[in-house]
Amino acid sequence: MKRFSLLSARAGATFMSPAGLLVGAFVIVPFFWVIFVSFTNRSLLGPTALNPDFVWFQNYIELFTSGRGVEPGTFGFSLILTVQFVLFSALIGQALLGLLLAWLLQQVPKSVKGFTETMVIGAWILPEVVIGFAWFAFLDYDNGTLNGILDALGLPRGDWLLDYPFWVIVVFNTWRGTAFSMMLFNSAFASIPPSYFQAADVAGASSWQKFRDIGLPLIRGHVVTDLILITMWTFNVFTPFLLTRGGPGGQTEVLSIYTYRVAFRDFDFGKGAAVGVVVMLINLAFALFYLWVARKRTPRKEAT
Amino acid sequence: MASVTFEKITKRFGSFTACENLDLEIRDGEFVCLLGPSGCGKTTTLRMMAGLETPTSGRVLIGDRDVTAVHPKDRKIAMVFQDYALYPHMNLADNISYPLKVRGESREARHAEARRVGDVLQIGHLMERMPAQISGGQQQRTSLARALVTPSEVYLFDEPLSNLDAKLRLDARGFLNHLQRDLGITAVYVTHDQAEAMALATRIAVMDRGRIVHYAPPLEIYHRPATTFVASFVGNPPMNLIDCTARIEGGALVLEAEGLTVPKLPVTPAIEAAAAEGKMTFGVRPEHLWIADGSEAGQIAGELFANENMGPESLVTLARTKDSRLTARLFTDEPLNLPETTRLGFATTHVHLFGPDGVRVPGVDE
């Protein structure tokens, strides 16, 4: 078969080369550099800063053995915390809430739909630092808005950031990220021909039956895409740092914050790089798993 | 089975009026076609019967029950959609039996029922297939099967054959006609294809700009169209209409237009009233014209414009004036050699008269 091309291979390569150089310099080289560093004891200060030793798997072994268990400040604690964080804020919070909102939006008047979309997208497009500060101000013990409201209602005030730090970052990340899932599911639902739902209406289906039998099965691909993306984003999200700085006492030190602390506050580059590599492998596993699910053609067995 | 009644239904979308003060009565067991060009409000009318649209004012009754504000699922109706609305992720058995599933029937029971209806529609052997794996005609019958699987009082069809190619459409039309004879269902059928309406309906409601302009059995509409709109919409090709000057002379109607020779027609009071304004429309159907041999009292002359031989018949188009053409449908399978100026003959019994407002003026024998 004759291939048609606008440019000769040489001209194409010439145009590609600047982008290729940049990607190489800032993505591909650092990627392999991190893997290399994770096998050394390189640090910012001290004798190993200039002459790091090659320590093989020492960094990795330390990650999984130090601290004897899972108290805050260890890699194990951060890993479990991150899994919980993903489960509550991404899967249950963003995906489930986004799905629910998107479904409800299909059945409300256009004006309500437009208003809700605007509000939710507003939460999504604001810069992270602004949002972090807004939530910090909202939850502050002395002058926070939430405590102000509770006072006005005669309810007891709470020191949210100190007493419930994990749930604060879960709620925060849910609030922040639901818009993406909602928009994605919204457009997925909108791509289903209206006659499918009208036929179900005439057949006598309830809203729940329409969701279960028609809406959800037809957007399955979008659900899988959404879960891959938000799981990976939430796994790597650093924004909770703006609210809690990983504290108090390391209680909200998710993996991204843990990596940051080890590498750039403890200046242990080798160990930080090792965490980075582990996180990357976990993300890779997630991605492969979801892609496998998405490709698998499951014959639908209906519950009757 | 039940009747359907529309009482003074008006439906507006913003400033656009889709249906204006509609009255319509569909008797139990009747097959009514809503016929009209796109935008005439026929689909909106159907969707108001289904409950997918709510009228701006007026009442919808199914049987004696006022269903104006009733949800589609509580109306005891079934509907076939133009795009079939088959669920791509369910096989045919699940698609057809979906109305039974939402009623909580067991998988075995509803699949058996799907199979039974499928057999009637000759798709019983395809129950395990997915919609994407069957032909367009089979998809159409699948959507029909889903409508028939539950007993309903009224069956609604929204242009169900318009996505089929010409040959399949004829097959499916014949099949629907057979089904209606068999089952005697009350059905409302929306179409823009006058042939479909003629073939299927017990009564046709011809719609134009949100109003019903003629509601009668197909042959009544064909023989005595209520307006020039109906006359030019029903029939293939549609009726030839010629604007004439009209006057009463010596107790007879005299019509005059370029190329047209009409014998003097007997006058009735209705004709006299219509002719008083000096203008009338003369109409004759293409199949009621023939090549004149010169002896006819009624003749139309024009330049030969087109001569199309279709096999058993020929369509001959004449340009009577620069911008007025007429067509004759001649039942001959021989090639026609026609002169540049051709004359067509007609019998006065086949002449239709319309007043200046486009409304039919009954002839002497009506």
Q: Which residue reads 């799905």 in tokens?
A: A99
- Residue B328: count of CB within 10 angstroms of its CB: 24
- pLDDT 10s per residue in chain A (304 long)? 556 777 788 888 888 899 999 998 898 888 888 888 777 777 767 666 667 777 777 777 777 776 656 677 777 778 888 888 888 988 888 889 989 988 888 888 888 888 888 887 787 788 888 888 888 888 887 887 887 888 888 777 777 777 788 888 888 888 888 888 888 998 899 889 988 998 998 888 888 888 989 989 898 888 888 888 888 888 888 888 877 777 777 778 888 888 888 777 777 777 788 888 888 888 888 878 777 776 764 444 333 3
B71 and B189 fall within a common domain: yes
- Has residue B138 been placed in a domain? yes
> Is there a domain that residue B366 lies in?
no
**Inter-chain touch A205–B73, beta carbons under 8 Å:** yes
Q: Are residues B55 and B189 in the same domain?
A: yes
Evaluate whether residue A22 is within a structural domain. no
- Same domain as B136, residue B247: no
Q: Domain residues for A102?
A: 67-303
**Mutating which of A202, A218, A222 best tests the B interface, going by the most B Cβ atoms within 10 A?**
A202
Tell me whether A303 touches chain B (CB under 8 Å).
no
| CA–CA gap between residue A87 and residue A84 (Å, rounded) | 5
User: Number of structural domains, chain A?
Assistant: 1
Q: Is A192 on the interface with B (CB under 8 A)?
A: no
* Domain identity same for B289 and B167: no
pLDDT score for B317:
92
Q: Say whether B146 sits in a helix, a strand or coil.
A: helix
Last residue of a domain, one of B205, B231, B257: B231
In a shared domain, residues B33 and B151: yes
Residue A206 falls inside a structural domain: yes
- The string of pLDDT tens digits covering residues B271-295 is 888 888 889 999 999 999 999 888 8
The verdict on residue A279 lying in a domain is yes
Q: What is the CATH number of the domain that holds B342?
A: 2.40.50.140
**Residue B351 contacts residue B284 (beta carbons within 8 Å):** yes
The band of B364, judged by pLDDT with boundaries at 50, 70 and 90, is low
Q: Is the peptide bond before A248 cis (omega within 30 degrees of 0)?
A: yes
| Nearest CB to A204 within list B81, B90, B102 | B102
In chain B, the number of structural domains is: 2
* Nearest CA-CA distance, residue B90 and chain A, Å: 8
Closest residue, chain A, to B75 (C-alpha): A202
Q: Is residue A58 part of a domain?
A: no
Q: Give residues 99 to 128 of B whose Cβ lies within 8 Å of A.
A: 99, 101-103, 106-107
In this structure, the answer to whether residues B103 and B138 fall within a common structural domain is yes
Smallest CA–CA distance, residue B56 to chain A, in Å, is 17
ipTM value greater than 0.85: no
Q: Are A253 and A240 in contact (CB under 8 A)?
A: no
Do residues B127 and B197 both lie within one domain? yes
Write down the pLDDT at residue A67.
Answer: 60
- Residue A10 lies inside a defined structural domain of this protein: no
Are B154 and B249 members of one domain? no
- In a shared domain, residues B307 and B197: no
Last-in-domain residue among B201, B231, B261: B231
B83 shares its domain with B104: yes
Q: Once rounded to an integer, what is the mean pLDDT over residues B118-126?
A: 85
Pairing of strands B352-354, B360-361: antiparallel
In a domain, A57, yes or no: no
Please give the model's pTM, rounded to 2 decimal places: 0.77
**A198 and B85: CB-CB below 8 Å?**
yes
- Choose among A212, A234, A262, A280: nearest CA to A75: A262
**Average pLDDT over chain B, rounded to whole?**
88
Is the CB of A107 inside 8 Å of chain B's CB atoms? Answer: no
| Residue B110 and residue B126 share a domain | yes
The CATH number given to whatever domain includes residue B130 is 3.40.50.300
- Asked, for residue A14, whether it belongs to a domain, the answer is no
The domain boundary, picked from B176, B206, B231, lies at B231
Whether B102 sits inside 8 A of A203 (CB atoms) is yes
Whichever domain contains A155, its CATH number is 1.10.3720.10
Any chain A CB within 8 A of the CB of B73? yes
Q: How large is the angle between the packed helices A128-139 and A145-153, nearest 10 degrees? A: 30
Q: Are residues B16 and B86 in the same domain?
A: yes
Lowest-confidence range among A53-67, A264-278, B15-29, B234-248?
Answer: A53-67
Our CA angle for A45, A48, A52, nearest 5°, is: 140
User: Mean pLDDT throughout B209-215?
Assistant: 91
Q: What is the pLDDT of residue A297?
A: 46
Residue B356 has pLDDT above 60, yes or no: yes
Range of the structural domain that residue B34 is part of: 4-231
In a domain, A196, yes or no: yes
- Give the SS3 label for residue B216: strand
What single DSSP character describes residue A126?
A: S
Please report the pLDDT score of residue B365 as a whole number. 66
Judged by a CB distance cut-off of 8 A, whether residue B157 touches chain A is no
Q: What is the pLDDT of residues A193-213, one digit of tens each?
A: 988 998 998 888 888 888 989
